[in-house]
Amino acid sequence: MSDAVIVAVISGLCTLAGSWAGIRQFNKLVDFRLIQLEKKVDKHNHLVERMVAVEGDTKNALRRLDELEDKI
C-alpha cells in the first residue's frame, strides 16, 4: 500500500474515535442534565402538594373564625 492510503486510513480511524468519544461525552452531559431537571421538578411537585394542604388548612381556619364571630 502507498503511504497516502495508510495516512488516510489512520486519519479516518482517528476521526471516528474522536467522534465516538465526543458523542459519549455529550450523552453523559445530557443524562446528567436530565437527572438535575427531574430533581427540580420533584421539588416543585412537593411544593405544590404542600401548598394545597396549606390552602385547605387556611380555609378550615377561616371557617372556624367565622363560626366563632357568629357566636360572639
Task: Return the number of other C-beta atoms located less than 10 Å from residue 28's C-beta.
Answer: 10
Instruction: State pLDDT tens for residues 22-69.
Output: 999 999 999 999 999 999 999 888 888 899 899 999 999 999 998 888
pTM of the model: 0.56
Predicted pLDDT of residue 30: 96
Predicted pLDDT of residue 13: 92
Predicted pLDDT of residue 26: 96
Predicted pLDDT of residue 38: 96
Q: Distance between CA 63 and CA 72 in Å, rounded?
A: 14
Q: Distance between CA 70 and CA 72 in Å, rounded?
A: 5
Residue whose grid cell is 497516502: 4
Predicted pLDDT of residue 28: 96
